[in-house]
Amino acid sequence: MPKDSLAERIATTLRRDILRGKLKPGDPVKERDNATELGVSRTPMREAIRILAKEGLLELRPARSPIVAKPGFKEVGDQAAVLIALEKLSVELACIHASPEDIDGISQLVQRMADTFDYTDPLDMFELDMEFHSAIAKASHNDSLVRTHRQYLQKLWRARYIAASQRRNRERVVCQHSDIVTALRNRDPKAALGAIDSHLNHLAEDVREVIEFESKNAHSA
């Protein structure tokens, strides 16, 4: 498997800074300053910025530094609704098309969650959670769905990470994911949909609350 490019590694560093709140919504991301801080040239920094802009984490501005994205309440709610629909379609198709190896790989991710939940960094756990959902989409063996799911997963990363950090709960992370895996192994689309629904039924509300809270704080600042 090829190693991540320098630009992708820089994008990972900046993405984690955004998720952790080191870079906040509206903060500028200065190409020269960040390149100097990370000890890299401006070319891979520029490409990393493009990667994060495609993910919706940064907003590009003509002749000005990009800023950390500030999505609105309605925009995030709409994105959450689309992502939930894509998650349901993913798990339905995965029940039909996933190989035994696909399901074993998904199950192993849940086992890693269970084994490391009590001591792992919340951001590492969140990234493992997102890897789980991406793996289900890939197990659908529908390339168009995989690409679209990835796009919406990325757009909601920051709001979902904040919400997950505030509601860190072993039962939700381990047990609900295990229910999804059980439904996949049983090739039971109805049970899989029920498990996904239980797992994501607060998603839209959670991410909206994050955006609403940040919007109020920005106005009062």
> Exposure of 52 by Cβ count < 10 A (0-12 exposed, 13-18 middle, 19+ buried)?
buried
Mean pLDDT of the chain, nearest integer: 89
DSSP sequence for 67-128 = EE----HHHHHHHHHHHHHHHHHHHHHHHHH--HHHHHHHHHHHHHHHHHTTTS-HHHHHHH
What pLDDT does residue 221 have?
54
Flag whether pLDDT at 118 surpasses 90: no
Tell me which residue of 6, 13, 4 sits closest to 123, measured CA to CA. 13
Q: Tell me the pLDDT band of 132, cut-offs 50, 70 and 90.
A: very high
Mean pLDDT score, 95-105: 98
What pLDDT does residue 180 have?
96
> What does R_g of the chain's alpha carbons equal in angstroms?
18
Q: Tell me the pLDDT band of 163, cut-offs 50, 70 and 90.
A: confident
Q: What percent of the chain has pLDDT over 70?
A: 94
How confident is the model over 35-85, as pLDDT tens digits? Answer: 999 999 999 999 999 999 998 899 999 989 999 988 887 888 888 899 999
Flag whether pLDDT at 170 surpasses 60: yes
What pLDDT does residue 3 have?
52
Q: Tell me the pLDDT band of 202, cut-offs 50, 70 and 90.
A: confident
Flag whether pLDDT at 2 surpasses 50: no
Whole-structure pTM value: 0.83
Distance in angstroms (rounded) separating the CA atoms of residues 205 and 192: 22
Distance in angstroms (rounded) separating the CA atoms of residues 27 and 221: 14
Tokens 């630009």 appear where?
A: 7
Q: Tell me the pLDDT band of 220, cut-offs 50, 70 and 90.
A: low
